[in-house]
Structure 1
Amino acid sequence: MKKFLTAMSIVLGLGLASAQQVAPAAKTANKTTTTKQVKPAKAVQTPAAKPAVKLKKDGTPDKRYKENQKLKKDGTPDKRFKVNK
C-alpha cells in the first residue's frame, strides 16, 4: 500500500509540475509592426483632505486638533461621518 501511495503521489506531483509550464509565445520576427509612442502621463497633484493637517511623529493625524477629529489613520476623510460624505 505504501508503494502504491508513493507512486500515485509522484505521478500527481509530476502532473501538477508540468501543468505549471507556460507555452512559449510564437515569434513574429518576420512581421513588421508599427509601435505607437506612448506619451507619459502628466503628474496630477491631488489636493489633501485638509491643508493644515497636524501629524504625530509616526505620520498619523493628531486627533487632539479639531480638523483631525474625523480623519482615518492614513489621513483620508472617514466616510462614516456626514461631513465627509
Structure 2
Amino acid sequence: MKRFLTGILIMLLGASITMAQAPAASKPKTKTEKTATSTGPLKKDGSPDKRFKANKTSATEGPKKKDGTLDMRYKANKDAGKKKS
C-alpha cells in the first residue's frame, strides 16, 4: 500500500510540475519612435541626430509635454508663449 501511495504521489508531483506556468516570453524593448520633423541627418534607427544644428530644438523653446505642446511650467516656454500670442 505504501508503494501504491508513493507512486500516486510521484505522479501528482510530476503532473503539477509540468502544468506550472511558463515564464512569459519577453518582448524586445524598443525605443519609442519619434517622428523626424527636422531636415537634418538621421541616426540608423531613424531618430534625428542631435549632433547637428539642423536637428537641435530652438533655443527659445523649452521642454515640451508628451503631446508636443509647450510645457508652461518653464520660464523659456512662458516667454515663447507670449511672443507667439
**TM-score > 0.5, shorter chain as reference:** no
More helix per residue: 2
> TM-score if structure 2 supplies the norm length?
0.32
Normalization by structure 1: what TM-score?
Answer: 0.32
